[in-house]
Amino acid sequence: MTHSKNTRLLHIGSAPFDAQSQTAGVGLPSIRTSTVRFKSLDALEQAQQRRARGERVVTYGISGLETHRALEEVFMALENGTYCVLNPSGLASIYLVFMSVLRSGDHVLVSDSVYGPVRTMNETLLKRLNIDLTFFSPSQDDIASLIRPNTKMIYVESPGSLLMEMLDMRALSAVARAHDLVLATDNTWGSHVYQPLALGADISLVAGTKYVGGHSDLLLGAVVTNRDDLAQALHQTQYAMGNAVSADDVWLALRGVKTLAIRLKQHTENALAICAYLDQHPKVSRLYFPPWHKDPGHTLWQRDCSGGNGLLSLSLNASANDAKTFVNALKLFGIGFSWGGFESLVQWVSPSALSSHRYWNEGDRGVVRLHIGLESVDDLIADLDQAFDAMSDSR
């Protein structure tokens, strides 16, 4: 009998029964270890040979043990994939993808709405390694015309960072297939409700730091694929880079995932209620949230996603400077990076970050990104209301 994804997520990581007592803990313990012991040198040699053939065999703690295996299965279930490599952060997962797929002299196309630090990675690392990167606008550029003989990968994020630009993954996949390119995507926003691998992507990565962990108490990432060749490259590069993940963080993520579906449902419900409030507010120019029916990406979201979450942005009928007053006045929304935890957060979006997103066409309006948490919606609306008032008073 095949169970639904939700049911599988609840049961992955159940501890096995003890042969003698015939009992088992509900969950696995956090198996903390730096190394493993082999019964004999023969056993060690066999393990090494299997590892060399690309099998997922543990010869040292960097590959993780049973706790890690269970979380890998979680991400495979979430992303509909057959291989998973864990990383110490979402950002480390992004680096791993670039380092696994690209060689010196290669070219990569990157959508201009990706997570900001990808630009830093380009400046600090890729240029030094003689890897050439071109940013493109998924909505405005003819991507095929940007492909060069040395292009190896298209790397995207859907919905994109800051303005939640929905990308047409199937169309991107058709271009990637036609030119024999790897299509990799950051699926942190969509994990559990969006399955890029099923839409033709080759690699999907997730910052488990956000909704999978769900409590803002861990950093973790995962890279998932269905392709044997990419899985081997990812595993080898992860090991070569020494990207180990703490078993305690893995254990926290395993616990977090048990409530992922129900949390996402509530985050989405709260976010849509906040959208309904913001939509009629005179100080709000536009909302950026694909589950909201007025978002330009809503049709694609309806086609490709099965749900939403709490991350949205809004532009203001006010300047970026006035947006700072609004952000400073908020009391329930913590000012900070990241998102996906139980709590509401706010981020002031700098005009320089927006200027590199060609999806942005609202000139010098101020933009604020909100993570709508699990607090009571009425309290969140009251907080937003008084912050809008504070912005008006300061003018």
Ligand X SMILES: Cc1ncc(COP(=O)(O)O)c(C=O)c1O
- Residue type at position 217: D
**Which CB sits closer to ligand X, 205 or 391?**
205
Q: How far is the CB of 189 from ligand X (least distance, A)?
A: 6
Bond preceding residue 159 cis, omega within 30 of 0: yes
Dihedral of alpha carbons 146, 147, 151, 157, sign: positive
Residue with tokens 């939509």: 279
- Residue type at position 221: G
**Which CB sits closer to ligand X, 115 or 135?**
115
Q: How far is the CB of 223 from ligand X (least distance, A)?
A: 12
Cβ atoms 227, 210 nearer than 8 A: no
Task: Name the residue with the smallest CB distance to ligand X.
Answer: 90
**Which CB sits closer to ligand X, 161 or 313?**
161
Structure tokens at 118: 């990808």
Q: How far is the CB of 61 from ligand X (least distance, A)?
A: 21
What do you get for the CA distance between the two ends of the chain, in Å?
A: 63
Q: How far is the CB of 338 from ligand X (least distance, A)?
A: 5
Q: 3-state DSSP call for residue 87?
A: strand
**Which CB sits closer to ligand X, 105 or 336?**
336
Structure tokens at 214: 């769900």
What's the CA dihedral at 63, 99, 9, 61 to 10 degrees?
10
Q: What is the DSSP string of 7-28?
A: HHHHHTTBPPPPTTT----SB-
**Which CB sits closer to ligand X, 310 or 318?**
310
Q: How far is the CB of 221 from ligand X (least distance, A)?
A: 6
Q: How far is the CB of 4 from ligand X (least distance, A)?
A: 26
**Which CB sits closer to ligand X, 115 or 333?**
115
Q: How far is the CB of 219 from ligand X (least distance, A)?
A: 5
The side-by-side arrangement of strands in the sheet containing 182-186 is: 83-87, 221-225, 203-207, 182-186, 151-157, 107-111, 132-136
> Which residues on neighbouring strands pair with residue 348, listed in sequence order?
368
Neighbours of 80 (CB within 10 A): 15
Cβ atoms 136, 146 nearer than 8 A: yes
**Which CB sits closer to ligand X, 256 or 391?**
256
Neighbours of 91 (CB within 10 A): 18
**Which CB sits closer to ligand X, 204 or 270?**
204
Q: How far is the CB of 93 from ligand X (least distance, A)?
A: 7
Q: CA-to-CA distance for 50 and 309, rounded, in angstroms? A: 41
Q: CA-to-CA distance for 156 and 138, rounded, in angstroms? A: 9
Binding site for ligand X (CB under 6 A): 89-91, 115, 157, 161, 186, 188, 207, 209, 219, 221, 338
Q: How far is the CB of 150 from ligand X (least distance, A)?
A: 26
**Which CB sits closer to ligand X, 90 or 366?**
90
Residue with tokens 């044997």: 228
